[in-house]
């Protein structure tokens, strides 16, 4: 990266001292991650921010919903900054508050809303988290989705397990239900927000155990069964390790499946000489490949035609320098602030996750 910018970022961070805390998501560019005080997945980062009450400014190098979560979990005195407001998440954008309310109205009309518990993936807007909190549901991450679903199904009235509305990632929902909880694919239906009544009949809504929102990650959704076949042919003895945001058939064909933190841990613990094809975001896979090459572990990207997460990549060194230098000048740019009412219910949903057994 540009040495002038590296020097400016360093100087701005030094000038701000403890007043600023920089969070870097695992999918961020190397040029940005080098300035992160901590790295992690979205949930770990939100908690790390909350554990730093002395930091007036939280600079979140990640995407919009993550900065919102950090704002929800930190005190009102702390200000969260997203260096580029265009860093959204296409998956989170696939479930808007209005669409989800429409879905809930349809469930109410079908007479099943009372028996339905929403479970929303961390990768969702603050509005969706608030909806979840208002209707007795919980948030989950890819590390605790199994626990969250087990809890949600147990919220039934005693005569029958509850029904789950899973938002917004259909793949994480389906993979967890089928792989970890033993549901069948037929127990799940997909709600398409662009069709009347979600494209489903009232009968389907009543019979389904799990209603999956029709959302997906534009990066993880691109790995295919063909990607797995191709890499197994190309690299004999390769272990295929993927994130549960991948499609069901990819997850079914993989050797190991788990969250970002699980992927890192698995590669850390892998023996020298082992070979891995990893299906998650490219910035992270490249970084891990570099880090573990010295230990004799061969790590490749599961599909060479899949690219970076384009919105994660929006945060680059020029944007980070601009955000930091503005803070040095006393100007808070690109502040992410969730309104109080939304924050109250979103926090309720997050607290239910933290209380999961």
Check if the beta carbon of residue 62 is closer than 8 Å to that of residue 28: yes
Residue 123 marked as a ligand binder: yes
188 binds, among ligand CIZ, ligand SF4, none (CB under 5 to 8 A by kind): none
Residues in the chain: 357
**Tokens linked to 8:** 């400016």
13 binds, among ligand CIZ, ligand SF4, none (CB under 5 to 8 A by kind): none
Name which of residues 174 to 193 contact ligand SF4 (CB under 6 A).
none
Name which of residues 82 to 121 contact ligand SF4 (CB under 6 A).
89-91
List the one residue from 218, 266, 274, 326 that touches ligand SF4 (CB under 6 A): 218
Residue 323 CA neighbour count, 13 Å, CB half: 26
Q: Which is nearer to ligand CIZ, 125 or 142 (CB)?
A: 142
Residue 307 marked as a ligand binder: no
First to last CA, the chain: 45
Rounded CA separation 81/251 (Å): 35
List the one residue from 39, 123, 146, 313 that touches ligand SF4 (CB under 6 A): 123
Residue 217 marked as a ligand binder: yes
Closest contact distance (angstroms) between CB of 3 and ligand CIZ is 30
Q: How far is CA 135 from CA 92, 114, 246, in A?
A: 19, 9, 28
Rounded CA separation 111/93 (Å): 28
**Taking CB positions, which residue lies at the least distance from ligand CIZ?**
41
Rounded CA separation 199/196 (Å): 6
Closest contact distance (angstroms) between CB of 117 and ligand SF4 is 23
Instruction: Considering only the stretches 30-38, 159-167, 199-207, 214-222, report the one whose residues sit in contact with ligand SF4 under the rule CB under 6 A.
Output: 214-222
Rounded CA separation 58/79 (Å): 6
CA 45 centroid distance within chain: 11
299 beta partners: 276
Rounded CA separation 206/153 (Å): 15
Name which of residues 95 to 124 contact ligand CIZ (CB under 6 A).
122-123
Closest contact distance (angstroms) between CB of 205 and ligand CIZ is 28
Asked if 312 touches ligand SF4 (CB under 6 A), the answer is: yes
Check if the beta carbon of residue 38 is closer than 8 Å to that of residue 313: no
Name which of residues 189 to 248 contact ligand CIZ (CB under 6 A).
217, 245
List the one residue from 8, 41, 212, 242 that touches ligand CIZ (CB under 6 A): 41
Residue 188 marked as a ligand binder: no
Closest contact distance (angstroms) between CB of 176 and ligand CIZ is 14
In the block, residue with structure tokens 């076949």:
229
Peptide bond into 168 cis (omega under 30): yes
Q: Which is nearer to ligand CIZ, 125 or 141 (CB)?
A: 141
Phi–psi pair at 310, nearest 5 degrees: -65, -30
Closest contact distance (angstroms) between CB of 193 and ligand SF4 is 17
Would you tell me how many other CB atoms lie within 10 Å of the CB of residue 192?
15
**Tokens linked to 96:** 């808007």
- The count of chain residues that interact with ligand CIZ, using the rule CB under 6 A, is 10
**Tokens linked to 201:** 């009949």
218 binds, among ligand CIZ, ligand SF4, none (CB under 5 to 8 A by kind): ligand SF4
Check if the beta carbon of residue 167 is closer than 8 Å to that of residue 193: no
Annotated binding site for iminosuccinate: 25, 42, 121-123, 142, 243-245, 260
> Residue numbers of the site for ligand SF4 (CB under 6 A)?
27, 63, 89-91, 123, 217-219, 281, 309, 311-312
> Residue numbers of the site for ligand CIZ (CB under 6 A)?
25, 41-42, 122-123, 141-142, 217, 245, 260
């Amino acid at each position: 990266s540009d040495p002038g910018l590296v020097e400016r970022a360093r100087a701005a961070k030094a000038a701000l001292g403890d007043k600023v805390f920089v969070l870097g998501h695992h999918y961020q560019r190397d040029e940005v991650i080098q300035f992160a005080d901590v790295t992690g997945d979205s949930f770990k980062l939100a908690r790390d921010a909350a554990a730093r009450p002395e930091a007036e400014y939280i600079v979140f190098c990640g995407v919009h919903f993550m900065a919102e979560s950090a704002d929800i979990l930190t005190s009102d005195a702390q200000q969260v900054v997203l260096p580029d407001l265009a860093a959204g998440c296409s998956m989170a954008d696939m479930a808007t508050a209005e669409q989800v309310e429409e879905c809930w109205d349809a469930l109410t009309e079908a007479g099943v809303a009372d028996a339905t518990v929403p479970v929303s993936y961390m990768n969702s807007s603050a509005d969706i988290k608030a909806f979840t909190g208002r209707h007795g549901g919980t948030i989950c991450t890819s590390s605790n989705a199994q626990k969250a679903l087990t809890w949600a199904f147990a919220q039934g009235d005693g005569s029958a397990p509850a029904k789950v509305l899973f938002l917004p990632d259909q793949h994480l929902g389906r993979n967890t239900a089928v792989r970890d909880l033993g549901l069948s694919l037929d127990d799940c239906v997909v709600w398409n927000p662009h069709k009347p009544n979600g494209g489903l009949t009232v009968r389907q809504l009543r019979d389904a155990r799990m209603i999956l929102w029709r959302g997906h990650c534009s990066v993880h959704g691109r790995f295919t069964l063909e990607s797995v076949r191709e890499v197994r042919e190309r690299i004999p003895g390769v272990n295929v390790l993927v994130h549960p945001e991948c499609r069901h058939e990819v997850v079914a064909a993989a050797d190991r499946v788990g969250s970002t933190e699980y992927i890192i841990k698995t590669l850390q613990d892998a023996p020298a000489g082992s070979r891995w094809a990893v299906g998650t975001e490219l910035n992270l896979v490249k970084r891990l490949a570099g880090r573990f090459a010295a230990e004799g572990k061969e790590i490749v990207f599961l599909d060479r035609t899949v690219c970076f997460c384009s919105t994660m990549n929006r945060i680059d060194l020029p944007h980070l320098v601009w955000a930091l230098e503005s803070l040095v000048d006393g100007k808070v740019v690109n502040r992410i602030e969730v309104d109080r009412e939304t924050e109250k219910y979103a926090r309720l949903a997050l607290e239910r996750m933290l209380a999961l057994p």
